[in-house]
Amino acid sequence: MKKLLVAAIAGLALSVSAVSAQTVFRLSHNAAPGNPKAVASDKFAELVAQKTNGRVKINVGGNAQFGDDAESITNLRLGTLGFSANSQGATSGAVPEFAVLGLPFLFRDLPHAYKVVDGPIGKQLADAADKKGLVLLAMWDNGIRHTSNNKRAISKPEDLKGIKIRTPPDPITLDIFNALGANPAPLAFSELYIALQQGVFDGQENPLVNIYSSKLFEVQKFISLTGHKYEATPLFASKVEWAKLSKQDQQAVRDAAKEAAKLNRDLSLAADADLKGKLAAAGVTINTVDQAPFIAATKPVYDKWRKTFPDLVDAMVKEAAKP
C-alpha cells in the first residue's frame, strides 16, 4: 500500500510538472469567424500544439478580442502579447517599410503578390520588423482590395470625389484615396460595420472576403472592383515572448506558421473567385473598372514614397516587374 501511495504521488508530481512546463501565449486578430485569417489562426494554434508535443499552447482571440491591430502591434513590442495575425496598415505604423507593399496597382493578382513577398522583399521587411521588436513568422494573405460605398458605382476616379471612405490606419491607402479625389479617414476595422450603418462613412475598401465575412455588404449598396492595392497579413511573434522558447520550439512554430500560410492563401484564392456571385445574390451592385485612369491618378503616390524609401520602392517595383 505504501508503495502504491508513493507511486501515485510521483505520478501526480510528474503530471503537475508537465502542466507547468507548458508555455501559453495569446494570438490576436481582427477577423470574423470563417475568414481565411481566422481559419488559419486556429490552424496555426493547432499545429503549434502538435509540433511541440503540447509544450506550447496558443489561445486565439478573433474579432479584436485581445485588442485591435494597432493595439496588438504595441502589445507585441511590449511583450504583453505573444502573437498576432496583423494587418499591413497597422504594422506600417511601427514598421513603415510595410506600407510599401500597398503601392497602388503593383501586383497583377494574388499569386504574383505571393511570389514577391516570399522573395528578397520579404527578407527586407523581416529585418525591418526585427529592429522594432517583431519576429515575422510568415506573410499570410489579406487579398486584393476593392471599393464599396452607398452613393454610386465607381467606374472612374471622378466618381470618388467627395465620398467619405474609411481606410485602415495606413498612410499609403490614405494617399491613394486622396489622389483619387475621395475624402478618406482611418478607423479600426472592428468599428467599421457600425460606422457604415450609421453613415459616418459612405464607403470603405477591403478584399471581397472581408466584405463578405464581416457582412459589410449588408450596409453597402455598391462594390466596384478597383483592385487598387494588395495587402498582406503579417504573422508576428513578440521578440520578448519569442525568447522564452527553445530553439527547437521556435523552429516548430515557424514550420506551423508556414503550413498555416498555405491554408490561408488557398482559402483566400478560392474566396476571391467565389464571392462575386454571392455578393451579387445578396443584392449588392458589382461593377468592373478600367484601371488605366486610376493608375494614372495614383502615380504621385509612387513619387511620394520613393522620396522616403527610394531603394525599397525601386526594389519592390523591380521584383513586381518580373514575369
CB 176 within 8 A of CB 104: yes
Shortest CA distance to 91 belongs to which of 30, 166, 46? 30
Mean pLDDT value across residues 265-284: 91
Band the pLDDT of 34: cuts 50, 70, 90.
very high
- For residue 12, pLDDT over 90 is answered with no
Phi, psi at 52, each rounded to 5°: -105, 10
Which triple of cell numbers denotes residue 287?
Answer: 461593377
Residue range 193-215, pLDDT digits in tens: 999 999 999 999 999 999 999 99
**What does the alpha-carbon distance between residue 103 and residue 116 come to, in Å, rounded to a whole number?**
13
Q: What is the DSSP letter of 31?
A: P
Least confident span in 4-8, 63-67, 162-166, 275-279: 4-8
Band the pLDDT of 81: cuts 50, 70, 90.
very high
CB 319 within 8 A of CB 119: yes
Query: What pLDDT shows up at residue 21?
Result: 78
Mean pLDDT value across residues 282-310: 97
Q: How many CB atoms lie within 10 A of CB 67?
A: 20
Query: What pLDDT shows up at residue 6?
Result: 45
Which triple of cell numbers denotes residue 124?
Answer: 527586407
Query: What pLDDT shows up at residue 2?
Result: 52
Query: What pLDDT shows up at residue 169?
Result: 87
Shortest CA distance to 68 belongs to which of 153, 150, 168? 168
CB 176 within 8 A of CB 226: no
**What does the alpha-carbon distance between residue 319 and residue 266 come to, in Å, rounded to a whole number?**
23
Phi, psi at 97, each rounded to 5°: -60, -30
- For residue 94, pLDDT over 90 is answered with yes
Query: What pLDDT shows up at residue 134?
Result: 98
Question: Directed axis angle between helix 36-51 and helix 247-281, to 10°?
Answer: 160
Query: What pLDDT shows up at residue 3?
Result: 53
**What does the alpha-carbon distance between residue 201 and residue 195 come to, in Å, rounded to a whole number?**
6
pTM above 0.85, yes or no: yes
Of residues 148 and 6, the one with the higher pLDDT is: 148
Q: What is the DSSP letter of 33?
A: T
Q: Could you give the C-alpha distances from 158 to 51, 77, 103, 104, 293, in angstroms and in order?
A: 53, 41, 20, 17, 10
Tell me how many domains the chain contains. Answer: 1
C-alpha torsion 260→266→272→277, nearest 10: -110
**What does the alpha-carbon distance between residue 166 and residue 147 come to, in Å, rounded to a whole number?**
10
Query: What pLDDT shows up at residue 271?
Result: 86
Mean pLDDT of the chain: 93
**What does the alpha-carbon distance between residue 214 and residue 109 come to, in Å, rounded to a whole number?**
23
Beta bridge partners of 186: 167
Mean pLDDT value across residues 145-152: 97
- For residue 317, pLDDT over 80 is answered with yes
Query: What pLDDT shows up at residue 10?
Result: 47
Query: What pLDDT shows up at residue 13?
Result: 43
**What does the alpha-carbon distance between residue 47 and residue 251 come to, in Å, rounded to a whole number?**
12
Which triple of cell numbers denotes residue 81?
Answer: 502579447
Containing 92, the helix (H) or strand (E) segment is: helix 88-94
Band the pLDDT of 16: cuts 50, 70, 90.
very low
Residue range 159-176, pLDDT digits in tens: 999 999 999 988 999 999
CB 36 within 8 A of CB 141: yes
Domain that holds residue 169: 2-321
Query: What pLDDT shows up at residue 221?
Result: 97
Query: What pLDDT shows up at residue 307?
Result: 97
CATH code of the domain containing 153: 3.40.190.170
